[in-house]
Amino acid sequence: MVRPRTDPVNPVGGLVSLFGSLAPTGAILKRAAATPELFERTGRAVVFTSPADLAERIDDPALDVTEDDFLVMQNAGPLGAGMPEAGYLPIPKKLLERGVTDMVRLSDARMSGTAYGTVILHISPESAVGGPLSLVRNGDLIRLSVSERRLDLLVDDVELAKRTPRSM
């Protein structure tokens, strides 16, 4: 059923575009499927360099991850991986066993419109072309602010310059 503008199901849209130092040309969060308590937070990055790396390590009991961390998958965008439907980063099994049902997850990939969770996708420019997502390392701090429409990598420019390949 279509509702009138004066009586929306939700006063804000189901999708939100985010911009910032981690997504200079944008990223998308499906707000309608996300956990509002995760909309304003800073977390430590736990990085996976590809969908294959994610599949290999996500359920490793030795994975250094907590529910307050941000899971980051690189190289899953259109150039890096052909844009497979790989954006739904699962919650690590050891956190699921503790009752964690959602956490912030980031990627340059896409996912089904029926998936749920606080998953930020289509981060651009993508990792494969040297976008800022390619510079994220384990332990880096990332700040998400849905109210400010921001996604920022909290690493200083000097350190990022050291990580940037010389050919860029």
CA 142 – CA 45 distance, rounded (Å)? 7
Instruction: Give the residue numbers annotated as catalytic, written as ranges.
Output: 112
Q: Which residue has the tokens 């990332």?
A: 142
| Integer Rg of the chain from CA | 16
Instruction: Quickly list H helices, the chain.
Output: 51-57, 78-81, 93-96, 157-163
- Indicate the residue type of 46: V
141, two tokens? 């701090």
Parallel/antiparallel/unpaired status of strands 119-124 and 23-30: antiparallel
Cα separation, 138 vs 160, whole angstroms: 14
DSSP 129: G
